[in-house]
Amino acid sequence: MSGRARARARGMALSPSAAEVGRVQASPLPLSVALSDSEASSSSDHVGTSRISQKCEGGLSSGDAGCTFKERVGKIRREMMDLSVCTREKLAHVRDCKRGSSGIPVKLVTNLFNLDLPQDWQLYQYHVTYSPDIESRRLRIALLYSHMELSNKAKAFDGVILFLSQKLDEKVMELSSETRRGETVKMTITLTRELPASSPVCMQVFSIIFKKILKKLSMYQIGRNFYKPSEPVEIPQHKLSLWPGFAISVSHFESRLLFGADVSYKILRNETVLEFMTDLCHKTGMSCFTQTCEKQLIGLIVITRYNNKTYRIDDIDWSVKPTHTFQKRDGTEITYVDYYKQQYDITLSDLNQPVLVSLLKSKRNDDAEVRMAHLIPELCFLTGLPGEARSDFRLMKAVAEETRLSPLGRQQRLARLADDIQRNKDARFELETWGLHFGCQMSLTGRVVPSENIIIQDHICQPVSAADWSKDMRTCKILSAQSLDKWLVICSNRAERVTESFLSCLRRVGRPIGFNVNHPKIIKVQENPAAFLHAIQKYVDPEVQLVMCILPSNQNSYYDSIKKYLISDCPVPSQCVLAQTLNKQGMLMSIATKIALQMTCKLGGELWAVEIPLKSLMVVGIDVCKDAFNQGMVVVGFVASINPRITRWFSRCMLQRTTADVADCLKVFMTGALNRWYTHNQGLPGRIIVYRDGVGDGQLRTLIEYEVPQLLSSVTEASSNTSPKLSVIVVRKKCMPRFLMETGRTLQNPPLGTIVDSGATRPEWYDFYLISRVACRGTLNPTYYNVIYDDNGLKPDHMQRLTFKLCHLYYNWPGLISVPAPCQYAHKLTFLVAQSTHKEPSLELANSLFYL
Amino acid sequence: MAENNIEVADLGCGDVCLLMILKYQKCIEELVGVDINEERLKWNGFRLSPCMGDHLDPRELDLIITLYHGSVLEKDCRLLGFDLVACIELIEHFDSEDLAKFPEVVFGYMSPAMIVISTPNSDFNSLFPSAVFRDSDHKFEWSRMQFQTWALDVANHYSYSVEFTGVGEPPAGAEDVGCCTQIGVFRKIAKATESAVLEHHGEHVYEVIYTTSYPSLQQMDYCRRVVTYLVYREVNRMKRRYQVSLRQHELEPESADTGNPTRKFISDPPVPVLTEADKAMEMISQPFCIGDKFYVPLERIIAYPRLGHICGNVEKLREFLADVVELNCDGSAVKVDLHDCGDY
pLDDT single digits (tens) A759-810 = 899 988 999 999 998 887 888 889 999 999 999 999 999 999 999 999 999 9
Q: Maximum Cα–Cα distance for chain B, whole Å?
A: 86
Tell me: do A630 and A698 sit in the same domain: yes
Domain boundaries, position A332? 266-396
Which of A159-173, A768-782, B90-104 tops mean pLDDT? B90-104
Judged by CB atoms closer than 8 Å, whether chains meet at A274 and B266 is answered as: yes
Nearest CA in chain A to B235: A237
Minimum distance, in Å, between the CA of residue A378 and any CA atom of chain B: 11
Determine the average pLDDT of the residues in A711-725. 86
Q: Nearest C-alpha of chain B: how many angstroms from A14?
A: 20
Residue A32 above 60 pLDDT?
no
For residue B282, what pLDDT band results from cuts at 50, 70 and 90?
A: low
CA B337 to chain centre: 39
Domain shared by A670 and A813, yes or no: yes
| SS3 label, residue B191 | coil
Q: Does some domain include residue A330?
A: yes
CB contact under 8 A, B262 and A308: no
Q: Which residues of B touch A58 (CB under 8 A)?
A: 46-47
Which of B137, B260, B343 is opposite residue A287, by nearest beta carbon? B260
- What dotted CATH number matches B220-246+276-337? 1.10.10
In 3D space, the residue among A289, A342, A341 whose CA is nearest the CA of residue A318 turns out to be: A289
pLDDT of residue A368: 54
Q: Which of A222, A241, A388 lies closest to B56 in CB terms?
A: A241
Give the C-alpha distances (Å, rounded to integers) separating A381 from A385, A742, B26, B113.
12, 41, 20, 38
pLDDT score of A369: 63
In a domain, A220, yes or no: no
Statement to judge: residues A498 and A619 lie in one domain: no
The pLDDT-based confidence of B154 (bands split at 50, 70, 90) is: very high
Give yes or no: residues A661 and A597 share one domain: no
For B232, the closest of A239, A304, A379 (CB atoms) is: A239
**CB-based contact A237 B232, cutoff 8 Å:** yes
Residues in chain B: 344
- Which segment of A443-457, A831-845, B193-207, B294-308 scores lowest on mean pLDDT? B193-207
Domain end among A380, A396, A412:
A396
Whether residues A682 and A540 fall in one domain: no
Residue A300 has a pLDDT of: 86
Assess whether A643 and A700 both reside in one domain: yes
Whether A739 is in a domain gets the answer no
- Please choose, from the candidates A648, A691, A688, the residue with its C-alpha nearest in 3D space to the C-alpha of residue A671: A688
Collapsing DSSP states into helix, strand and coil, what is residue A535? helix
pLDDT in tens, A298-337: 888 898 888 878 888 988 999 999 999 988 877 888 999 9
Nearest CA in chain A to B227: A236
Q: Which of A705-709, A763-767, B195-199 has the least mean pLDDT?
A: B195-199
Q: Which residues of A touch B17 (CB under 8 A)?
A: 52
- Indicate whether A362 pLDDT > 70: no
Q: How confident is the model at residue A180 (pLDDT cuts 50, 70, 90)?
A: low
Answer whether A522's CB lies under 8 Å from A491's CB. Answer: yes
CATH class of B6-214: alpha beta
> Using an 8 Å Cβ cutoff, are A628 and A822 in contact?
no
Instruction: State which residue of chain B sits closest to A182, comparing Cα positions.
Output: B136
What is the average pLDDT across A600-629?
Answer: 90
Q: Say which residue, B41 or A74, is predicted with more confidence.
A: B41
Q: Would you call A278 and B266 a contact, using CB atoms and an 8 Å cutoff? A: yes
Q: Pick A36 or A185 by higher pLDDT.
A: A185
More confident residue, A118 or A30: A118
Residue B341 has what pLDDT? 44
pLDDT for position A40: 30
Q: How do the domains of chain B map onto residue ranges?
A: 6-214, 220-246+276-337
pLDDT at A473 > cutoff 60: yes
Give the distance from residue B196's alpha carbon to the nearest chain A alpha carbon, in angstroms: 33
* Residue among B44, B260, B344 whose CB faces A59 most closely: B44
Assess whether pLDDT exceeds 90 at residue B269.
no
* pLDDT band at residue A58 using 50, 70 and 90 as cut-offs: very low
pLDDT at A826 over 90: yes
Report pLDDT for A659: 58
CATH code where residue A547 lies:
3.40.50.2300
Per-residue pLDDT for A60 more than 70? no
Q: Helix or strand or coil: residue B42? A: helix
Q: Which of A391-395, A720-724, B11-15, B145-149 has the lowest mean pLDDT?
A: A391-395
| Identity of the residue in A268, A345, A391 whose CB atom sits nearest the CB atom of B26 | A345
CATH of the domain at A314: 2.170.260.10
Of A180, A308, A343, the CB nearest to B51: A308
Contact status, residue A604 vs residue A482, Cβ threshold 8 Å:
yes
Round to the nearest angstrom and report the end-to-end CA distance of chain B.
44
> Is A24 a residue whose pLDDT tops 50?
no
Our CA angle for A400, A832, A293, nearest 5°, is: 65
Band the pLDDT of A42: cuts 50, 70, 90. very low
* A69 pLDDT above the threshold of 60: no
Q: Nearest-CA distance from A17 to chain B in Å?
A: 19
pTM: 0.79
Q: Domain total for chain A?
A: 4
Residues A336 and A480 in one domain: no
Residue A40 φ then ψ, to 5°: -65, -25
> Mean pLDDT across chain A, nearest whole number?
82
Residues A679 and A799 in one domain: yes
Nearest to B229 among A222, A239, A395 (CB): A239
Q: Do B15 and A56 touch (CB under 8 A)?
A: yes
The pairing of beta strand A521-525 with beta strand A487-492 = parallel
Could you tell me which chain A residue has the CA closest to the CA of B49?
A: A218
Asked if pLDDT for residue B46 goes beyond 50, the answer is yes
Which of these three, A396, A412, A444, is where a domain ends? A396
> Which of B28, B36, B40, B52 should one mutate to test binding to chain A, selecting the residue with the greatest count of A CBs within 10 A?
B52
In this structure, the answer to whether residues A300 and A181 fall within a common structural domain is no
Whether residue B39 and residue A64 make contact (CB cut-off 8 A), yes or no, is no
Mutation choice for B interface testing from A271, A282, A306 by most B CBs within 10 A: A282
B52·A308 Cβ contact <8 A: yes
- pLDDT value for A487: 92
* Distance of residue A57 Cα from the nearest chain B Cα, in angstroms: 9
CA A62, distance to chain mean position in Å, is 29
**pLDDT reported for residue B236:** 84
B137 and A180 within 8 Å at the Cβ level: the answer is yes
Domain finish residue from A196, A214, A245 = A196
What CATH number did the domain enclosing A715 receive? 3.30.420.10
Q: What 3-state class would DSSP assign to A500?
A: helix
Contacts of A229 in chain B (CB under 8 A): 52, 55-56
Per-residue pLDDT, A661: 53
Q: How far apart are CA A705 and CA A792, in angstroms?
A: 19
Most confident of A426-435, A617-626, B226-235: A617-626
Identify the residue with better confidence: A290 or A361.
A290
Q: Are residues A593 and A651 in the same domain?
A: no
Which of B24, B56, B209 to probe by mutation at the A interface, max A CB count within 10 Å?
A: B56
Residue B46's alpha-carbon distances to A110, A223, A246, A785, in angstroms, are: 33, 19, 20, 41
Is the CB of A303 less than 8 angstroms away from the CB of B15? no
Give the residue on B whose Cα is nearest the Cα of A61.
B43
Q: Exposure of A457 by Cβ count < 10 A (0-12 exposed, 13-18 middle, 19+ buried)?
A: middle
Instruction: Provide the 3-class DSSP secondary structure of residue A590.
Output: helix
Closest CA to A400 of A10, A731, A748, A820: A10
When mean pLDDT is compared across A52-56, A124-128, A803-807, B182-186, the lowest value belongs to A52-56
Residue A49 has pLDDT above 70, yes or no: no
Of A308, A352, A391, the CB nearest to B265: A352
Identify whether residues A507 and A542 lie together within a single domain: yes
Instruction: Give the C-alpha separation, A692 to A757, whole Å.
Output: 19
Residue A492 in this model has a pLDDT that exceeds 70: yes
Same domain, A284 and A322: yes
Q: Which residue, A757, A242, A286, is CA-closest to B265?
A: A286
Decide if A433 is inside a domain: no
B97–chain A nearest CA distance, Å: 22
